[in-house]
Amino acid sequence: MQQGNRSKVHHTFNDGDFTRFGQMAAHVTVAQVDLKDPDLSPSQIDYALRQCLLHSRPVYIQVPVDMVPIHVPATGLQSGISIPPVFSTPSRESVVETIANWMSDAERPIILVDGETRAYGIVEDVQRLVKHTGWPSFTTAFGWGLLDETESNVFGIYRGSFDENNIHTTIQNSDLVLCFGPHFSSTNSYSFSSIPKGSRSILISRDTVVAREHVFRDIPAQFVAARLLERLKSSSVQPKGQIPDLSRPYVNRFSERPKGQPITHESFWPMMQPLIREGDIVLGETGSSGHGVRDIHLPKNVRTFLPVTWLSIGYMVGAAQGAALAQRELIASSQYHGINSARTILFIGDGSLQMTVQELGTIIRHNLNVTVVLINNDGYTIERVIHGMKQKYNDVASWNYLQAPAFFGADKSTYTAKVKTLGEVEQLMRNSEFLNAEGFKMVEVIMDREDAPKGPLTWLRTRQLGQER
């Protein structure tokens, strides 16, 4: 009634136009429906859900308030949402054959797995390809965790020109880079330095293959991955040339420096290795946490979330709540890699936590198995290294962070700790209560406000300090 009368009501633009929100959402959704007819609503909802599953993108469903209690036919609920099958064509087979031939001829090949791979539904096929070929394989930050890092030919995140040893040179000089799910944003590609050379790469996107700068459209990633795997099962694609040692030099999990020394990013992140276990979900918030956590070698079946493109600080607190709830439901339904217990571990800075700290209340209310490791470096360190080490707008209020659990309703027995030295971090990593206790836990880690993890942030800090002298 209100929409039909173009009423000027709250939560609108006060002009009677109720379509504005759907129009706004159209820029970031793959389908939009407005449920005004009870007879059509079920099919409209199914259409939106089908588009969501088919494209792995969000949809927008607008429900007028007086439509909520209306009964509609339930016949559509008797079967699942159907997705059109991927079918073979001569042109698609030809592209796969060309790729397979190039793979067979490669002397210095590399596999690079980016984050869109999960949305394409090809993670398992790609993992089998990595194992079958034995090729040196890396992920991007967005793709971190999609490959099993316990495999001998999987070497973690490729960090472009910021990578150590000879990794960057080896990948850029490779004669074939097979890349699945490319998402080459500036942040995810380390300022575009990790993008493989077009003349030597095969980029497999949702429905497009760019093979050595030739573009082939309407060829789904699911088809390419499955058919490549099928073809390679009966053939060998071992590299013909000599591949240098690409093992990443993960340092000892405990620092060899004096126990009384202050905590630095360089010493801290390798010491977190014992915290991460099979099946855990690891979130690294935008900022120094999201960069530093990359120095951890992942066990099997660990899902990760890192800053990739949008970089909305504070997002990871709510994301941790959602991830932990989904994790618990999957474990309860025996759909979680055969694992009966796992945790969601959030690494976050003090500035980011202050943006969305109230979501700790939701985590505590649902009694979720979440561990929060708070990096307290007295403000927005990532913004300091970009916009000025001494700028006042990068300072934040000094909170008593470990009082937050009690404030948000946690039991008095909830585990909290504060560490200021390397020795205290080592003791924490040997504390069975911290490592093994179920439920919410929170640790505050004190670091210097101008310290930064190695890589882009250290480079930016050095440049910023040089400008300020």
Residues 158-197 as b or e (16 or more Cβ within 10 Å = b): bbbebbeeebbebbbebbbbbbbbbbbeebbbbeebbbbe
Task: State the residue range of the domain holding 36.
Answer: 20-78
Is the Cβ–Cβ distance between 167 and 155 less than 8 Å? Answer: yes
**Is the domain of 64 the same as that of 105?**
no
Structure-token match 């905590």, residue found: 263
Overall average pLDDT of the 200-223 stretch: 96
Report residue 323's pLDDT band, with 50, 70 and 90 as the boundaries.
very high
Strand 303-305 versus strand 214-217 pairing type: unpaired
Overall average pLDDT of the 374-386 stretch: 94
**Is the domain of 194 the same as that of 56?**
no
Share of the chain above pLDDT 90, in %: 79
Spatial separation of the C-alpha atoms in residues 104 and 327, rounded to whole Å: 40
Overall average pLDDT of the 16-36 stretch: 91
Spatial separation of the C-alpha atoms in residues 405 and 176, rounded to whole Å: 51
Q: Give the per-residue pLDDT at 45.
A: 96
Spatial separation of the C-alpha atoms in residues 214 and 350, rounded to whole Å: 47
Q: Which pairs count as long-range contacts for 298-307, CB under 8 Å and 24+ apart, including other chains? A: 298/144, 298/145, 298/149, 298/156, 299/149, 299/150, 300/148, 300/150, 300/337, 301/337, 301/339, 302/145, 302/276, 302/278, 303/145, 304/144, 304/145, 305/281, 306/141, 306/142, 306/144, 307/141, 307/187
Is the Cβ–Cβ distance between 309 and 185 less than 8 Å? Answer: yes
CATH classification of the domain holding 133 = 3.40.50.1220
Q: Give the per-residue pLDDT at 256.
A: 78
Q: Give the per-residue pLDDT at 22.
A: 87
**Is the domain of 160 the same as that of 286?**
no
Report residue 250's pLDDT band, with 50, 70 and 90 as the boundaries.
low
Would you say residue 12 lies in a domain? Answer: no
**Is the domain of 308 the same as that of 433?**
yes
pTM value > 0.75: yes
Answer yes or no: is pLDDT of 464 > 90: no
111 beta partners: 137, 178
Report residue 243's pLDDT band, with 50, 70 and 90 as the boundaries.
low
Q: Supply the DSSP symbol for 80.
A: P
Q: How big is the CA angle at 28 (ends 24 and 32), to the nearest 5 degrees?
A: 70
- Other residues' Cβ atoms within 10 Å of the Cβ of residue 25: 16
**Is the domain of 104 the same as that of 182?**
yes
Spatial separation of the C-alpha atoms in residues 387 and 395, rounded to whole Å: 12
Structure-token match 């210097």, residue found: 448
Report residue 432's pLDDT band, with 50, 70 and 90 as the boundaries.
very high
Overall average pLDDT of the 25-37 stretch: 94
**Is the domain of 312 the same as that of 350?**
yes
Overall average pLDDT of the 447-461 stretch: 92
> Total structural domains in the chain?
3
Q: Give the per-residue pLDDT at 468.
A: 65
**Is the domain of 311 the same as that of 428?**
yes
Would you say residue 253 lies in a domain? Answer: no
**Is the domain of 46 the same as that of 106?**
no
Q: Give the per-residue pLDDT at 221.
A: 97
Report residue 202's pLDDT band, with 50, 70 and 90 as the boundaries.
very high
Q: Give the per-residue pLDDT at 236.
A: 72
**Is the domain of 447 the same as that of 399?**
yes
Strand 176-180 versus strand 201-204 pairing type: parallel
Report residue 382's pLDDT band, with 50, 70 and 90 as the boundaries.
very high
Report residue 252's pLDDT band, with 50, 70 and 90 as the boundaries.
low
Residue 374, helix vs strand vs coil: strand
**Is the domain of 152 the same as that of 279?**
no
Report residue 103's pLDDT band, with 50, 70 and 90 as the boundaries.
very high
The distance from CA 410 to its chain's CA centroid, rounded to whole angstroms, is: 28
Answer yes or no: is pLDDT of 378 > 70: yes
Is the Cβ–Cβ distance between 95 and 224 less than 8 Å? Answer: yes
Find, among 81, 142, 384, 102, the residue nearest to 224 by Cα: 102
**Is the domain of 326 the same as that of 418?**
yes
Q: Final residue of a domain: which of 78, 102, 117?
A: 78
In the predicted model, what is the mean pLDDT of the chain? 92
Spatial separation of the C-alpha atoms in residues 426 and 268, rounded to whole Å: 10
Spatial separation of the C-alpha atoms in residues 237 and 326, rounded to whole Å: 39
62 beta partners: 34
**Is the domain of 224 the same as that of 285?**
no
Find, among 224, 196, 216, the residue nearest to 114 by Cα: 196
Q: Give the per-residue pLDDT at 249.
A: 62
Q: Give the per-residue pLDDT at 17.
A: 82
Structure-token match 């909520």, residue found: 68
Residue 130, helix vs strand vs coil: helix
Q: Give the per-residue pLDDT at 377.
A: 96
Task: Of 37-41, 54-58, 364-368, 463-467, give the lowest mean pLDDT range.
Answer: 463-467
Is the Cβ–Cβ distance between 313 and 287 less than 8 Å? Answer: yes
Q: Final residue of a domain: which of 78, 101, 122?
A: 78
Distances (CA, A) of 126 to 26, 57, 155: 32, 21, 15
Helix 123-133 vs helix 221-232: crossing angle, to nearest 10:
30
Overall average pLDDT of the 226-235 stretch: 88
Q: Give the per-residue pLDDT at 416.
A: 98
Would you say residue 84 lies in a domain? Answer: no
